[in-house]
Amino acid sequence: MKVLGVDPGLTRCGVGVVDGVAGRPLTMVGVGVVRTPADADIALRLVEIERGIDAWLDEHRPEYVAVERVFSQHNVRTVMGTAQASAVAMLCAARRGLPVVLHTPSEVKAAVTGSGRADKAQVGAMVTRLLRLDAPPKPADAADALALAICHIWRAPAVNRLQQAHAAARRAAPATIPSSGPRRATPQKGTR
């Protein structure tokens, strides 16, 4: 399975491609950062991110795109930029018909380091070890993108089994008849 991990950001959008399957050694295919100037217009920055991600998709032809799920932060401006870059990554993948998966930062940290509270240095160190690299990828956004790809490769078999079980349960469940509207509560005996 080849996965493009995307650590979204406006100034630095980390991208990394990992190939492999759960339970076997993984291989880093490529890693980098799509950069945009902080003083450029936001619309132009998003176009540059789109071009960068499109180039990675064209060059590496991943089967999945794993994007960090944006969650609330104290700085609204930062979270908005991250969300916009995330949306661009999802759009680029969807345009090609590639499945997009979202993983929270704590899911990624837990998958790669064993702790959902690991810091950037710990994630970088484990990515280096898991991919048998000489040094942690720099900047940390690049290492985070690889960690996202690793997380998805390791979690995909369990997620797929869970989705298949839910689909089978839905097929096996008898159809329910929707109610025609709200029902009135009937008083219990002994109450008024």
Residues belonging to the active site: 7, 68, 141
Separation between Cα atoms, residue 142 and residue 68, nearest integer Å: 12
In the chain, what is the straight-line distance between the N-terminal and C-terminal CA atoms, in Å?
Answer: 65
Neighbouring C-beta atoms of residue 168, cutoff 10 Å: 10
Separation between Cα atoms, residue 121 and residue 81, nearest integer Å: 24
**185: which 2 tokens?**
């509560």
Strands across the sheet containing 12-19:
27-35, 12-19, 2-7, 64-68, 100-103
